[in-house]
Amino acid sequence: MSIEKQVDPSRRGLLVATCAAGGVIGISTAGVLVSTFQPSERAKAAGAPVEVDISSLAPGEMVTVEWRGKPVWILRRTPEMLASLKKTDGQVADPGSERNPDEFTPSYCINEARAIKPEFLVAIGICTHLGCSPSTKFTPGPQPSLPDDWNGGFFCPCHGSTFDLAGRVFKNKPAPDNLVVPRHMYLSDTRIVIGKDEKGEA
């Protein structure tokens, strides 16, 4: 003989309400737990490091990625582009990237190419004058708004600042400093991470 337990109809509403309340508490608790694993607003504002695949970047080509809301250029320089840096050494204001190195150039990029690997320039594409974004002027030779002995580089259309192919600002220009080289490192021969190096995140 089977015995079925009957629930008093007067108590059935109380049971449903109790279960429902427990469910709400459970859901709200789960929400609190999940939120603790999400990045804080401060972390989101700071911006996480960005990984970039450079395997398809051909010599002479540049790719722009976004990090912390800023454009970051990765330029794969040709041998001719690298050779041009010798020619501009005497024309740029800070050839050795000695001004404010902590702010503008990581120690491992204080060299003529301003790079870990000379072939690749990694720089924030924002003029150090008033924050405009310079345009690429890689073709050498006379051009409008550029000198006749132009060796290739970047031109800021806002106030005329010019930078060579290492992001070094030319003398007597409104921009006071070279383009910023962000902290970065190579994960492999074909992958770069922007905003992080062996010392940690920027």
In terms of pLDDT, which residue wins out, 112 or 36?
112
**Residue 187 CA, distance from chain mean position:** 15
> What's residue 107's pLDDT?
94
pLDDT band at 202 (very low <50, low <70, confident <90, very high): confident
Q: What is the mean pLDDT of residues 135-155?
A: 94
Residues 175, 105: Cα–Cα separation, whole Å: 16
Phi/psi at 169 (nearest 5 deg)? -75, 140
- Full set of structural domains in the chain with CATH: 45-201 (2.102.10.10)
Q: Smallest Cα–Cα separation from 53: which of 185, 189, 182?
A: 189
Token duo for residue 78: 């040709």
- pTM of this structure: 0.75
pLDDT band at 46 (very low <50, low <70, confident <90, very high): low
Q: What is the mean pLDDT of residues 81-109?
A: 93
Beta bridge partners of 170: 92
Mean residue pLDDT of the chain comes to 83
SS3 186: strand
User: Which pairs with CB-CB distance under 8 Å and at least 24 residues apart come from 82-89?
Assistant: 82/113, 82/118, 82/119, 82/165, 84/140, 84/151, 84/152, 84/164, 84/165, 85/112, 85/113, 85/164, 85/165, 85/166, 86/112, 87/151, 88/151, 88/153, 88/164, 88/165, 88/166, 88/168, 88/170
| Helix or strand run (H / E) with residue 36 | helix 9-36
Strand 135-137 relative to strand 162-163, pairing = unpaired
**Residue 141 CA, distance from chain mean position:** 31
